[in-house]
């Protein structure tokens, strides 16, 4: 992304999703679904395809990060080690860990392989981030409940790169048993290809097996200039469980916005927001970045609005 | 000898559970633990409770198991210094940074890792032991082999025997604050993060709202609650003892002191009976005694859940 060296990244579950067209807007890709081993085609369960996916990304000039299971039990650690070994041999640029045990495992068995922590690693404080640095962590995604004011402190004191969720549904909860198994008309693994929504009052959540997601899409487009001014350079567009068109189109809108910002061109807020809205079924929120309830949306003028 | 740990949601509850035979009690300083402020203690109350518990020859553990703002860590250390001067016996923590800072400042103070640390494997246990943790509060979702693995890691194991399980892993959920979060600074400068159970303790229990489940084919189910069940490990207590579990914990700071007193009496007698003759342990009569406690507990919990859900739209 030009002189600013901005990384726009996203996540895919399967080899099929690793294609140049849909990933065109991104500089880096997290490979594999950390939440469910049974997800059809999950790259974390097929190491040959994982190696192929890494090679493909490298061929496209992109960085390849490899996800790891979010909450592995002791009996699964051997498999995690083999997964990381495959990733390292195939030339992955980093692995992502939501589990602190996995962070330790990678640090001890694969010293030098950079680790990024995901939102479920629960980085809430600067001291927590600084401690993780001693375990080979190079980049943290603070827990999504952490405000921008706190994220600044984590970055400054922790001395680590910080990744920011820029757009997409954010995970709100992780469980150990698949919710969708309650619906025999939608058997595993096909159920994961279906969108399931939970609705009560005016709240909407999305549910995919073991993860509850925000029903609204986090949208930080209007705040992107502030994030860039604040020095953030790694941004995630969460597209797990989204169709390829979402990954491509939302990515292209952000890429265009970043290019306009880098080149000092006119910022087309209404047009970009309108285009993003086409991909959001239940509207936007900003998550917890401004200290509010996660479902609220604060615009660039600091006003809470419904969008 | 296994320890029976009871909740101390108020000074009255602390007295009640001591009288009922608890070996130790855990309390939360206001704004710092995974419960609403009404079930936490002010510093002076905590001091009096420490004195009371020690007068029984028992132990008091302070739960500081929320995930604070980075700027609040110095305040936490200052508070802990005061609590230590009152003789608290251990602290329960969640945040990696807090654990590191507390262990560095007070190396002799036993640190227990909260259930919110969400450990699931042997590498997790080793990680937290390296940080200075001595005991782990095991998540209700952990299988028996994990409890053995915690022991093998050289850590004490604390098992919830009377609790509620969340739909999610505890510490891995921010559904409540998605609906409502209010930043509230107290006089000391502590943010209570109202609405975030991970940060301030108050959970609006969205998982217990009636949810309609829909997909592109239409509505798949109406009024579904995300699984969140009461959890009683009564018949497995002998197995816990056999495994060398250090602490059996009763959850329940938000219930009435009388109810928690009754629960502690039951488990005290059960544990003593089991220790006296482990091979002849029969859970059936204990289940019968538990029924009334469960009934009252369910009533109180349902009332509280309704309140919390109402507050979530305030």
Report the SS3 class of residue A33: coil
Q: Is it the case that residue A186 has pLDDT exceeding 80?
A: yes
- Whether the per-residue pLDDT at A158 is higher than 80: the answer is no
Provide the pLDDT for residue B279: 84
Closest CA to A63 of A163, A169, A167, A148: A163
Question: A255, A261 in Cβ contact below 8 A?
Answer: no
| Assigned CATH class of B3-172+227-303 | alpha beta
Mean pLDDT of the region A48-60: 98
Average pLDDT over residues B49-76: 98
For residue B167, which residues of chain A lie inside 8 Å, CB to CB?
Answer: 173, 175, 212
For residue B95, give both structure tokens.
């945040």
On the question of pLDDT at B278 being above 90, the answer is no
Q: Give contacts of B206 with chain A, Cβ < 8 Å.
A: 203
Percentage above 70 pLDDT, chain A: 99
Q: What is the pLDDT of residue A8?
A: 98
Two tokens, residue B274: 């089991």
DSSP element (H, E) containing B211: strand B211-215
Residue A152 above 50 pLDDT?
A: yes
Measuring CA to CA, which residue among A178, A205, A194, A176 is closest to residue A70?
A: A176
pLDDT, chain B, mean? 95
In angstroms, the CA A27 to CA B7 distance is 51
* Cβ contact B97–A75 (<8 Å): no
All residues of chain B having their beta carbon less than 8 Å from the beta carbon of residue A186 are 215, 220
Hey, are the CB atoms on A294 and B226 less than 8 Å from each other? no
CA-wise closest residue to A83 among A67, A99, A72, A62:
A67
Whether B33 has a pLDDT exceeding 80, the answer reads: yes
Tell me the shortest Cα–Cα distance from A57 to chain B, in angstroms: 30
Cα-Cα-Cα-Cα dihedral sign, residues A247, A250, A254, A255: positive
Q: Which residue of B has its CA nearest to A119?
A: B172
Chain-chain contact of B127 with A103 (C-beta, under 8 angstroms): yes
- Integer CA distances (angstroms), B183 to B28, B54, B202, in order: 19, 36, 12
According to DSSP, the residues that pair with A117 across neighbouring strands are A97, A140
Question: Which residues, in sequence order, are CB contacts of A266 under 8 Å at separation 6+?
Answer: A260
Q: A81-85, A246-250, B174-178, B215-219: which range is least confident on average?
A: B215-219
Please determine, for residue B314, whether its predicted confidence score (pLDDT) is greater than 80: no
Residue B111, classed as helix, strand or coil, is: strand
Which of A83, A128, A169, A190 to mutate to test binding with chain B, by most B CBs within 10 Å of its CB? A128
The closest CB to that of B73, out of A123, A127, A205, belongs to A127
Do B220 and A186 lie within an 8 Å CB cutoff? yes
Cβ within 8 Å, pair A201-B313: yes
pLDDT tops 90 at residue B137: yes
Q: Do A132 and B146 touch (CB under 8 A)?
A: no
Q: Chain A partners of B178 at a C-beta cutoff of 8 Å?
A: 172, 203, 205, 214, 293-295
Would the CB atoms of B123 and A105 count as touching at under 8 Å?
yes
**Digit-coded pLDDT (tens) for A188-204:** 988 888 899 999 988 99
pLDDT grade for A3, boundaries at 50, 70 and 90: low
Pick among A35, A69, A70, A71 to test the B interface (most B CBs inside 10 A): A71
What share of chain B has pLDDT > 70, as a percent?
Answer: 100
Asked if B231 reaches chain A (Cβ–Cβ under 8 Å), the answer is no
* Strands ordered across the beta sheet of A211-214: A171-174, A211-214, A203-208, A196-200, B211-215, B218-224
**Residue A157 banded pLDDT, cuts 50, 70, 90:** confident
Asked if the peptide bond before residue A189 counts as cis, ω within 30 degrees of 0, the response is: yes
CB A13 within 8 A of CB A29: no
Portion of chain B with pLDDT greater than 90, in percent: 90
- The answer to whether the Cβ–Cβ distance between A200 and B209 falls below 8 Å is yes
The predicted pLDDT at position A1 comes to 46
Angle at B227 between CA B226 and CA B232, to 5 degrees: 155
pLDDT tens digits, B226-259: 988 888 888 899 999 999 999 999 999 999 999 9
Give the number of beta-carbon pairs within 8 Å between A and B. 202
Say whether pLDDT at A283 is over 50. Answer: yes
Domains of chain A by start residue, with CATH: 2-174+214-285 (3.20.20.70)
pLDDT tier at A184, thresholds 50, 70, 90: confident
Angle between helices A126-133 and A148-158 (to 10 degrees): 40
Domain boundaries, chain B: 3-172+227-303
CA distance A304 to chain B (A): 14
Mean model confidence pLDDT for chain A: 95
B291 interface with A at CB cutoff 8 Å: no
* pLDDT at A45 (0 to 100): 97
Quick check: B97 and A130 CB within 8 A? yes
Phi, psi of A80 (to 5 degrees): -65, -40
Q: Which residue has the tokens 């990678």?
A: A106
For residues A94 and A87, what is the distance between their CA atoms, to the nearest angstrom?
Answer: 8
Q: What is the pLDDT of residue A4?
A: 62
Token pair of A75 as six digits: 């009996």
ipTM for the complex shown: 0.96
**Tens-place pLDDT, residues B82-133:** 999 999 999 999 999 999 999 999 999 999 999 999 999 999 999 999 999 9
Q: Can you give the pTM of this predicted structure?
A: 0.96
What's the pLDDT at A2?
Answer: 47
Mean pLDDT (whole number) for A241-246: 96
């Amino acid at each position: 992304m030009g002189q600013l060296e901005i990384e726009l990244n996203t996540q895919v579950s399967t080899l099929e999703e690793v294609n140049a067209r849909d990933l065109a807007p991104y500089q880096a890709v997290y490979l594999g679904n950390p939440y469910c081993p049974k997800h059809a085609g999950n790259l974390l369960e097929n190491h040959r395809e994982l190696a192929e996916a890494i090679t493909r990304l490298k061929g496209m000039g992109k960085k390849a990060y490899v996800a790891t299971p979010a909450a592995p039990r002791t009996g699964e650690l051997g498999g995690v080690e083999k997964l990381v070994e495959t990733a390292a041999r195939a030339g992955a640029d980093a692995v992502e860990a939501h589990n602190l045990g996995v962070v330790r495992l990678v640090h001890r068995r694969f010293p030098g392989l950079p680790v990024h922590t995901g939102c479920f690693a629960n980085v809430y404080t600067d001291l927590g981030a600084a401690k993780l640095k001693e375990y080979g962590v190079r980049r943290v995604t603070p827990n999504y409940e952490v405000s921008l004011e706190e994220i600044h402190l984590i970055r400054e004191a922790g001395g680590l790169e910080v990744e920011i969720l820029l757009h997409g549904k954010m995970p709100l909860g992780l469980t150990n048993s698949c919710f969708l198994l309650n619906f025999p008309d939608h058997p595993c693994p096909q159920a994961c290809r279906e969108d399931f929504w939970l609705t009560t009052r005016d709240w909407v959540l999305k549910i995919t097996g073991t993860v509850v997601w925000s029903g609204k899409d986090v949208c930080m487009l209007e705040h992107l200039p502030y994030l860039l001014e604040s020095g953030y350079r790694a941004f995630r567009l969460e597209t797990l469980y989204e169709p390829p068109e979402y990954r491509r189109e939302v990515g292209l809108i952000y890429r265009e916005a970043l290019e306009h910002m880098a080149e000092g061109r006119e910022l087309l807020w209404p047009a970009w927001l309108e285009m993003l809205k086409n991909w959001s079924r239940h509207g936007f929120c900003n998550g917890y970045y401004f200290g509010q309830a996660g479902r609220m949306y604060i615009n660039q003028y600091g006003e809470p609005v419904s969008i | 000898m296994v320890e029976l740990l009871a909740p101390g949601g108020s000074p009255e509850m602390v007295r009640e559970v001591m009288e009922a035979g608890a070996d130790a009690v855990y309390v939360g300083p206001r704004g710092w633990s995974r419960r609403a402020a009404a079930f936490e203690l002010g510093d002076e109350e905590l001091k009096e409770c420490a004195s009371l518990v020690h007068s029984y020859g028992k132990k008091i553990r302070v739960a500081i198991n929320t995930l604070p703002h980075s700027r609040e860590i110095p305040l936490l250390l200052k508070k802990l210094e005061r609590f230590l001067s009152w003789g608290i016996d251990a602290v329960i923590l969640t945040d990696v940074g807090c654990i590191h800072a507390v262990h560095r400042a007070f190396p002799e103070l036993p640190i227990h890792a909260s259930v919110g640390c969400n450990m699931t494997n042997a590498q997790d246990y080793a990680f937290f032991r390296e940080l200075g943790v001595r005991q782990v509060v095991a998540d209700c979702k952990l299988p028996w082999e994990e409890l053995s693995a915690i022991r093998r890691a050289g850590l004490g194991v604390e098992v919830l025997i009377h609790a509620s399980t969340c739909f999610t892993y505890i510490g891995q959920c921010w559904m409540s604050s998605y609906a409502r979060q209010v930043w509230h600074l107290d006089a000391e400068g502590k943010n209570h993060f109202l609405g975030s159970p991970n940060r301030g303790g108050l959970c609006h229990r969205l998982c217990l709202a009636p949810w309609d489940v829909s997909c592109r084919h239409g509505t798949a189910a109406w009024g579904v609650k995300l699984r969140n069940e009461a959890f009683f490990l009564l018949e497995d207590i002998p197995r816990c003892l056999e495994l060398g579990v250090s602490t059996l914990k009763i959850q329940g700071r938000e219930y009435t002191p009388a109810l928690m007193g009754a629960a502690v009496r039951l488990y005290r007698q059960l544990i003593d009976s089991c220790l006296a003759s482990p091979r002849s342990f029969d859970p059936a009569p204990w289940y019968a005694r538990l029924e009334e406690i469960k009934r009252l507990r369910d009533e109180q919990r349902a009332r509280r859940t309704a309140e919390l859900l109402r507050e979530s739209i305030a």
